[in-house]
Amino acid sequence: MSWRDTDFAVMGIVNVTPDSFSDGGRYLHTAAAVAHGLELVRTGAAILDVGGESTRPGALPVSEADELSRVLPVIEGLRAAGAGAQISIDTSKAAVAAAALRAGATLVNDVSALRADPAMAELVASCDADCCLMHMLGEPRTMQRDPHYDEVVSDVKAFLERRMAFAVAHGVAEERILLDPGIGFGKTLAHNLELLCRLDELAALGRPLVIGTSRKSFLGRLTGSPVEDRLAATIATNVIAYERGARVFRVHDVGPVRDALAITAATVNRRWAQTTPMSTTTPTR
């Protein structure tokens, strides 16, 4: 299964890191990460996004060797277990992406949108891999230092259009490209809300939009909830994003988000896949 096969796809997060903002250290060991990935698939993930370097604000860079040692055993383990989901590698390093693709990944999720490593575009093209191009102002260490835009939606749209043109010019097939506005990556709370409100303008670029709001700090600022209590806020932003044209949803809590999106899709599009037998009993109030 991949993002092509369904009306929407949930991308489950598999952070193999000690310092990610929400679940850093929980899945640092290969067995735990593989088990977590398989559980995400069981609850509805069509994509597993495996990452070995945190991109939270202020995170320190990770060496190529460390990143490889974290992600490769997990990708190999998921493939050996027959995970049944598309495997994505969350990296901006071409060498890490190349090894991950050889190990079984088929999607490169590059938060730099092919800017960090000059070899990445050619690699993606030569491997016929899918790729996600994300908008980020600056880089993770500095992106939240007073982010400024002339007009955030127009600026992000122009950036994504340029990066898509760059990828295509370097041999990446347009039908393999997904676009991510980078919620929380060099954006204020107001920027994030404006992007969510006007996602339809980015959907007009003609490629599937990936949205990553899961447990992020702007949700905490709005609700006052700590990171572990932001599921309801995450679901709300994903439902809004779907209604405005997003189709891939990168989250920690796959099952609840998948259920919310299934109801939203059935309501908005008047179609759905039956996943359980229809009851023959009289419904209760």
Question: What does the pLDDT look like over 49-79, one tens digit per residue?
Answer: 999 998 877 777 899 999 999 999 999 999 9
For residue 278, the model assigns a pLDDT of 46
For residue 20, the model assigns a pLDDT of 55
Q: Which entry of 163, 176, 215, 250 is annotated as an active-site residue?
A: 250
Tokens of 10: 């949930």
For residue 281, the model assigns a pLDDT of 45
Q: What is the mean pLDDT of residues 143-148?
A: 74
Measured from the Cβ of residue 201, the count of other Cβ atoms closer than 10 Å reads 15
Does position 277 have pLDDT exceeding 60, yes or no? Answer: no
Reported as a pLDDT band with limits 50, 70 and 90, residue 25 is low
Q: Which entry of 216, 244, 247, 258 is annotated as an active-site residue?
A: 216
Which CATH number is correct for 9-268, 3.30.1370.10, 3.30.1540.10, 3.30.70.260, 3.20.20.20?
3.20.20.20
Bridge partners of 133, per DSSP, are: 110, 179
Average pLDDT, the chain: 91
Q: What is the mean pLDDT of residues 206-219?
A: 97
C-alpha torsion angle, residues 177, 141, 95, 179 (rounded to 10): 0
Residue 93 contacts residue 116 (beta carbons within 8 Å): yes
For residue 137, the model assigns a pLDDT of 87
Measured from the Cβ of residue 135, the count of other Cβ atoms closer than 10 Å reads 24
Residue 216 designated active-site = yes
Q: What is the mean pLDDT of residues 29-48?
A: 95
Does position 282 have pLDDT exceeding 70, yes or no? Answer: no
- Amino acid letter, residue 191: H
For residue 283, the model assigns a pLDDT of 47
- pLDDT, one tens digit per residue, over 72-82 is 999 999 999 99
Query: Which residue shows structure tokens 């060991």?
Result: 29
For residue 53, the model assigns a pLDDT of 93
| Strand residue runs (E) in 16-139 | 47-51, 86-90, 107-110, 130-134
| Strand residue runs (E) in the chain | 9-15, 47-51, 86-90, 107-110, 130-134, 177-180, 210-211, 248-251
* Structural element, H or E, at residue 200: helix 199-203
Residue 12 contacts residue 37 (beta carbons within 8 Å): yes
Instruction: Give CA–CA dist 274/268, Å, rounded.
Output: 16
Global pTM reads 0.91
Q: Write down the domain spans for the chain.
A: 9-268
Residues 6+ apart with CB under 8 A from 45: 10, 11, 12, 37, 85, 254, 258
Q: What is the mean pLDDT of residues 107-115?
A: 97
277: left (phi over 0), alpha (psi -120 to 50) or beta: beta
Q: What is the mean pLDDT of residues 92-116?
A: 97
Instruction: Give CA–CA dist 282/62, Å, rounded.
Output: 57
Residue 79 designated active-site = no
